[in-house]
Structure 1
Amino acid sequence: MVRSTAREIAVRLSYELSFTDLKAEALLDQTLTPDYFRNLVQEDVLYAELPGEKQSAYIRKLVCGVAEHGAELDSYIEKYAVGWKFERIPLVASAIMRVAMYEILYMPEIPNAAAINEAVEIAKKYEDEKVVAFLNGILGSFVRQECGE
């Protein structure tokens, strides 16, 4: 499994945290299983390959990190979503931005430009062009202001 696929799975699980009472670890334990992937592969090729040890660890780090730092990440989204109320931002777009911002803030081994580019590519699959541009603008402003790039 390539990292971009693992990242997209992490986005989906981060999104799912918005709708479940499960904690991040419990959700991950429930979903990162051969049975879960086998059941979903018919509906979505994203689940064609079970993540290996390295990619599972990466997915876990992202999902648990987003859950742990959710309030902080949401405050950054709100800060840079000029003219938008947080509640108005599509939930998938919020999940994508949370994952990207977590990578930027807490995973220095991932280049900021790569985190943003991957977020934009994922957003193109789920959101319309205006939301993709909006997301790209928020992440770009975030990196320029918070990371000095």
Structure 2
Amino acid sequence: MNRRQAREIALQVLFQTTLSNTDRKIAIDAVNGEGVPVDPFVVRLLNEISSHETEIDRQIKAHLVNWSFDRIGNIDKTILRLAICEMLYFDDIPTTVSINEAVELCRKYGDEQTRKFVNGILSSISKEIETKNR
């Protein structure tokens, strides 16, 4: 399984667990197949998001312009959480890759507005990260 596929599985699992309070194991089995080994990258993403959800959501809220956190669509919020998690906690993944992968998820699960919105938020966070790392 490549990382793009792993991100998509993580997105589907996170969406289910967030939206309907589904148990993570049940959601993983539903998406990945019952008893099928879960890719370590999926597990890592889900664990990091779970551990840092408050900080990830704070980042989203801090970069919203004329928009409230509660108005963000569930799929948009989930894609943002995945990408921001990678940007903040996965040193082995370039920020540009995380942004591009998020935009690709938007192409599949959202629309043009979703792509623009997600890209704008992630670009803003990326610039902030670059500034801090100088």
The normalised TM-score by structure 2 is 0.86
Task: Report % sequence identity.
Answer: 31
Distance 1:37 1:11 in 2: 12
Tell me: CA distance 1:36–1:133, structure 2 relative to 1, closer, same or farther (3 Å): closer
Structure 1 equivalent of residue 95 of structure 2: 112
How far is the alpha carbon of 1:18 from its aligned partner? 1.2
Matched, 1:97 2:73: no
How far is the alpha carbon of 1:5 from its aligned partner? 0.6
CA contact (8 A) 1:14 1:67 kept: no
Structure 2 equivalent of residue 43 of structure 1: none
CA contact (8 A) 1:73 1:101 kept: yes
Matched, 1:30 2:31: no
Distance 2:57 2:28 in 1: 26
Distance 1:11 1:38 in 2: 15
Unaligned runs of 5+ in 2: none
Kindly tell me the number of residue pairs found equivalent between the two proteins. Answer: 131
Tell me: CA distance 1:36–1:98, structure 2 relative to 1, closer, same or farther (3 Å): closer
Structure 2 residue matching 1:4: 3-state secondary structure = helix
Distance 1:102 1:15 in 2: 15
Equivalent runs, 1:67-146 vs 2, <5 Å: 67-146=50-129
Structure 2 equivalent of residue 6 of structure 1: 6
The normalised TM-score by structure 1 is 0.78
**RMSD of the TM alignment (CA)?**
2.1
Tell me: CA distance 1:36–1:126, structure 2 relative to 1, closer, same or farther (3 Å): closer
Structure 1 equivalent of residue 16 of structure 2: 16
Matched, 1:62 2:58: no
User: Could you tell me which amino acid in structure 1 is paired with residue 2 of structure 2?
Assistant: V
Structure 2 residue matching 1:69: 3-state secondary structure = helix
User: Could you tell me which amino acid in structure 2 is paired with residue 116 of structure 1?
Assistant: I
- Alpha-carbon displacement from aligned partner over 1:67-106 (angstroms, at most 9, x marks no partner): 1211111111111111110011111111111111111111
Tell me: CA distance 1:118–1:30, structure 2 relative to 1, closer, same or farther (3 Å): same
Tell me: CA distance 1:3–1:87, structure 2 relative to 1, closer, same or farther (3 Å): same
CA contact (8 A) 1:73 1:98 kept: yes
Unaligned runs of 5+ in 1: 40-49
